[in-house]
Amino acid sequence: GIQVEQSPPDLILQEGANSTLRCNFSDSVNNLQWFHQNPWGQLINLFYIPSGTKQNGRLSATTVATERYSLLYISSSQTTDSGVYFCAVERHRGSTLGRLYFGRGTQLTVWP
Amino acid sequence: DTEVTQTPKHLVMGMTNKKSLKCEQHMGHRAMYWYKQKAKKPPELMFVYSYEKLSINESVPSRFSPECPNSSLLNLHLHALQPEDSALYLCASSKAGTGREKLFFGSGTQLSVL
């Protein structure tokens, strides 16, 4: 399969702080998604971003496919941002189409 | 409507029981997925259905039996499970299952096997 490494594994912030989460992957991908899993287990799709930059409110993401990494930026963090952030990728190979490989996630805790 | 609905939210079963997990979506998606997630771990793919046909089975034990009655519904039938099968079971859907697609997840069924 493909290796997906996320950093940092844990992040603790004060409310209002900014943060950057990183996702490195070991092969060419045609699909990269960022998810937020809240404390109740719900996985929310934040971005579908195989390349380029997207913004959604306080969140933005950049994927540099040629250098095999993606970054998720969270600005002015809020306590509701707490949870686990997963990066998931799909390889640019026929036999693995439809298979999303998840990284181990970044556990974010935001204190008031 | 961008929801994927899973029932039940919690399930406790014995090793000799037979139970089913259900998943439903009304987004017109033609691909549906089952993922398994152990505590503090990432989700792991189990099965993919594309146009109601099983397209991916990630070597899942036969005590897990998926079923896709139509493009909106996905079931996971459970029989003779082991305690190590206790996990969060997540359903997801996407447009067609042909790759390069955004996945939408349900809130999961937390399964405990006693």
Using the predicted structure, report yes or no on whether residue B100 has a pLDDT greater than 90.
Answer: no
Provide the pLDDT for residue B97.
74
- From B50's Cα to the closest Cα of chain A, the distance in A is 9
Provide the pLDDT for residue B40.
92
**B30-84 pLDDT tens trace:** 999 999 999 999 999 999 999 999 999 999 999 999 999 999 999 999 999 999 9
What is the per-residue DSSP string for chain A? Answer: ---EEEE-SEEEEETT--EEEEEEESS-EEEEEEEEE-TT--EEEEEE-SSEEEEETTEEEEEEGGGTEEEEEE-S--GGG-EEEEEEEEESSGGGTT-PEE---EEEEEE-
What is the per-residue DSSP string for B43-70? Answer: -EEEEEEETTEEEEE-S--TTEEEEEEE
Question: B63: which residues sit within 8 A by CB, 6+ positions away?
Answer: B78, B79, B80, B81, B82, B85
If DSSP codes are grouped into helix, strand and coil, which group holds residue B85? helix
- When scoring A30, A36, A37, A43 by the number of chain B Cβ atoms within 10 A, the one with the most, hence best to mutate, is A43
Using the predicted structure, report yes or no on whether residue A47 has a pLDDT greater than 90.
Answer: yes
Distance separating alpha carbons of residues A70 and A52, to the nearest angstrom: 9
| 8 A C-beta contact, residue A46 and residue A62 | no
Q: How far apart are the first and last CA of chain A?
A: 40
- Mean per-residue pLDDT for A17-35? 95
- Predicted confidence band of residue A95 (pLDDT cuts 50, 70, 90): low
| Closest Cβ opposite residue B103 in set A30, A40, A45 | A45
Residues of B in contact with A88 (CB under 8 A): 103
- When scoring B34, B101, B104 by the number of chain A Cβ atoms within 10 A, the one with the most, hence best to mutate, is B101
If DSSP codes are grouped into helix, strand and coil, which group holds residue B74? strand
Provide the pLDDT for residue A54.
97
Distance separating alpha carbons of residues B112 and B114, to the nearest angstrom: 6
β partners of residue A55: A60
Residues of A in contact with B44 (CB under 8 A): 102
- Mean per-residue pLDDT for A87-105? 82
β partners of residue B57: B47
| Closest Cβ opposite residue A100 in set B41, B45, B110 | B45
Distance separating alpha carbons of residues A70 and B109, to the nearest angstrom: 30
Provide the pLDDT for residue A96.
58
Q: Which two tokens stand for residue A98?
A: 């439809």
